[in-house]
Amino acid sequence: MNGSPLRTRLRERLTPLRERLARLLRERLARTLTRPRRPVPPFDELVRIETDPAYRALFFAQLDAALDERHAAAQTAAVAEIEAAAERLRALIRSPGDHERAA
């Protein structure tokens, strides 16, 4: 026994739909893979930065903000490391006989 008559009818109706969907997907994938890519000039943004004063100002403002953010993150990480090391040293000073637990 292969199942109920309803299941058999559903399978009979869905099989052609599955095959059609698979064919459509294969065709779309083939079109996508064979479509010629639009060429992008290699230094477009650099040329725009050099020639457009407004864009240059925006670019440098965003660059400065990103650098400031990176610097602040590095400082925060360094402070956290120093505070953790200081806490470990304090723990060693408080209980000089128990070096294992502080490390």
The vertex-19 CA angle with 18 and 25, nearest 5°, equals: 90
CA 31 from centroid of its chain's CA atoms: 28
Whether 60 is covered by a domain: the verdict is no
pLDDT digits (tens, 9 = 90+) for 67-84: 999 999 999 999 999 999
Whether 46 is covered by a domain: the verdict is no
Whether 70 is covered by a domain: the verdict is yes
- Cβ within 8 Å of residue 95, ≥6 positions away: 101, 102
pTM score of the predicted model: 0.45
The residue segments making up the domain with residue 10 are: 1-37
Whether 4 is covered by a domain: the verdict is yes
Q: Structural domain tally of the chain? A: 2
pLDDT digits (tens, 9 = 90+) for 26-40: 999 888 888 887 776
